[in-house]
Amino acid sequence: QVQLVESGGGLVQPRGSLRLSCAASGSIFSINAMGWYRQAPGKQRELVAVIGSGGNTNYADSVNGRFTISRDNAKKTVYLQMNSLKAEDTAVYYCQMRIRRRISYAENDYWGQGTQVTVSS
């Protein structure tokens, strides 16, 4: 089995910062892309940032220049550093990883449980 566990969400004031983490565990052979998505109330889930196995990154226009995605392959962990937070960043944030499992070598997308980020004064 594969499990993704997120941490780091919470309440922060506008212009503040938060760092999200997401660690994978289980029967993992390799991890390809890692990403962060978010879903605000009444809205569809949207891509925030993604990082490939080679370290290449891509960001949503709304967060470009404020958020930074990074990964630690040894720890099977992806991070999202969020700076200059705005009220419109309020959402549940989900991590996602494309993981190839041991034994079967099947590759699938796995999701974290979600962590709430609230930006409010």
Kindly provide the residue ranges of all beta strands, DSSP E only, lying in the chain, ordered along the sequence: 2-7, 10-12, 18-26, 28-39, 46-51, 57-59, 67-72, 77-82, 91-101, 107-111, 115-119
pLDDT tens for each residue of 78-99: 999 999 999 999 999 999 999 9
Radius of gyration from C-alpha coordinates of the chain: 14
pLDDT tens for each residue of 3-26: 999 999 999 999 999 999 999 999
pLDDT tens for each residue of 28-83: 999 999 999 999 999 999 999 999 999 999 999 999 999 999 999 999 999 999 99
